[in-house]
Amino acid sequence: MAVDQATVRRIAHLARIKLADAEVPHLADELNSILAFVEELSSVDVSGVEPMTSVMPMHLYERVDVVDDGEIADQIVANAPVTEDHFFVVPKVVE
């Protein structure tokens, strides 16, 4: 897949980027280089390679998946103008 100058102009238009005509050939070459690199990467055999979340070995800490209210209901509604039993009171918007 090659990017031509018309495609570069269209991409710039969609991204709302103003390009001078002199910049278009250079950007087309850069985009083609990037696409060629991506194609080269896709040809690499990664079967048997474990997916990584980081380049450094790290232990991901897990917490217990428990639903609670955090016991800070008073702090949450502290700045609300009107509350009732830890709920925000708002004007009725649906009749």
Q: What is the spatial distance between Cα 75 and Cα 3, in angstroms, rounded to a whole number?
A: 55
Q: Is the dihedral of CA 38, 44, 45, 51 positive or negative?
A: negative
Instruction: Please give the pLDDT value at position 51.
Output: 85
Prediction pTM value: 0.51
Q: What is the spatial distance between Cα 6 and Cα 1, in angstroms, rounded to a whole number?
A: 14
Q: What is the DSSP string of 12-37?
A: HHHTT----TTHHHHHHHHHHHHHHH
Q: State yes or no: pLDDT of 1 exceeds 80.
A: no
Instruction: Please give the pLDDT value at position 57.
Output: 81
- Which tens digit of pLDDT belongs to each residue from 21-46? 999 999 999 999 999 999 999 999 99
Average pLDDT of the chain to the nearest whole number: 91
